Chain A
Amino acid sequence: MSNQKKKTLTPVQQEYQSFAQSREPKRSVVHNCFTAFVVGGTICLLGQFIQNFFIWQFGFTKETAGNPTVAVLIFLAALLTGLGVYDHFAQWAGAGTAVPVTGFANTIASAAIEHRTEGFVLGVGGNMFKLAGPVIVFGVFSAFVVALIKTILTSLGG
């Protein structure tokens, strides 16, 4: 895909880009993957503790305990975003905080907080899903397509 992009560049541009790329600091992929693994794993571990807590203390079942667990993690992420500490931690943790549901909550909370200056209706309400929108839209659409295919296949087969 990147070669397709290169085809639309002139030879001078292509030459410059390799000139520039050799002088750019490389992202430390291995280090980033390691921190993402550790942080992401820890957040999921915390989720597991919270989930078991809901099962033991409140009598949720294994299937239904996922809901309050996710709600608690979302609350924590929104709180840390509001306190202004989430972004500093996330710069270091990368995908470790972005991939768990905490990342989803952070996109919504940060956009909401930022656009408060434009009022609650147009600002907060209108911009809240600026970053989370794609996740919801594509999640729903892909679930729709997969469910449609699956339902049609099972009704054809059955």
Chain B
Amino acid sequence: MEIYVWAFVVGGLICVIGQILLDVARLTPAHVMTILVVSGAVLGGFGLYDPLIDFAGAGATVPITSFGNSLLRGALAEADRSGLVGILTGIFEVTSAGISAAIVFGFMAALLFKSKG
């Protein structure tokens, strides 16, 4: 039960950080998303992101920050198994669902829909 509350709060707070970067720092959306994704990877490197996922569930896995963390996790897991080269071979291991889904559904949207203006 508690996880629902924290999912809402943590997810909301990460979005607020994004909003502040947009409105106060006047960065473009692409810059904001990039900063968040890199932050996810860096926090993951310090071992701070996985505990956040345990605590807030989807509040940590749904924002784009988790993408950076997942890329890192894939790289580290494969590096554990195969050494340094594993960093390159393992990066997309965990995130392939997200990227594949985005490409597939994006392409299907282009097949089915026209811009509405």
Chain A residues, CB < 8 A from B36: 99
Contacting B110 at CB < 8 Å: which of A95, A116, A147?
A116
Check A147–B75 contact: CB distance below 8 A. yes
Interface residues in B23-59 (C-beta closer than 8 Å to A): 23-24, 29-34, 36-38, 40-42, 44-45, 57-59
Which bracket fits the contact residues of A? 35 or more
Chain A residues, CB < 8 A from B24: 29
Chain B residues, CB < 8 A from A45: 4, 7-8, 11, 58
Chain A residues, CB < 8 A from B18: 36, 40, 94-95, 98-99
Q: How many residues of B contact A (CB 8 A)?
A: 73
Contacting A68 at CB < 8 Å: which of B16, B45, B97, B114?
B97
Residue from the set B18, B76, B110 with the largest chain A CB neighbour count within 10 Å: B110
Chain A residues, CB < 8 A from B34: 134-135, 138
Known A-B contacts A44-B62, A84-B116, A142-B68; A33 and B110 likewise in contact (beta carbons under 8 Å): no
Whole-angstrom distance from the CB of A108 to the nearest CB of chain B?
Answer: 4
Check B110–A98 contact: CB distance below 8 A. no
Check B16–A40 contact: CB distance below 8 A. yes
In the complex, residue of chain A having the shortest beta-carbon distance to the beta carbon of B54: A62
Chain B residues, CB < 8 A from A82: 109, 112-113
Residue from the set A49, A82, A115, A149 with the largest chain B CB neighbour count within 10 Å: A82
Assembled-state Cα–Cα distance A113/B57 (Å): 32
In the complex, residue of chain B having the shortest beta-carbon distance to the beta carbon of A34: B16
The 24 sampled A-B contact pairs (Cβ below 8 Å) are: A36-B15, A36-B19, A40-B14, A47-B11, A48-B3, A66-B66, A69-B61, A70-B101, A74-B98, A81-B113, A95-B22, A99-B14, A99-B63, A108-B102, A109-B105, A109-B106, A120-B110, A124-B107, A139-B38, A140-B71, A144-B87, A146-B45, A147-B45, A149-B45
- Chain B: residues with CB nearer than 8 A to chain A? 3-4, 7-24, 29-34, 36-38, 40-42, 44-45, 57-59, 61-64, 66-68, 71-72, 74-76, 79, 84, 87-88, 91-92, 97-99, 101-103, 105-110, 112-117
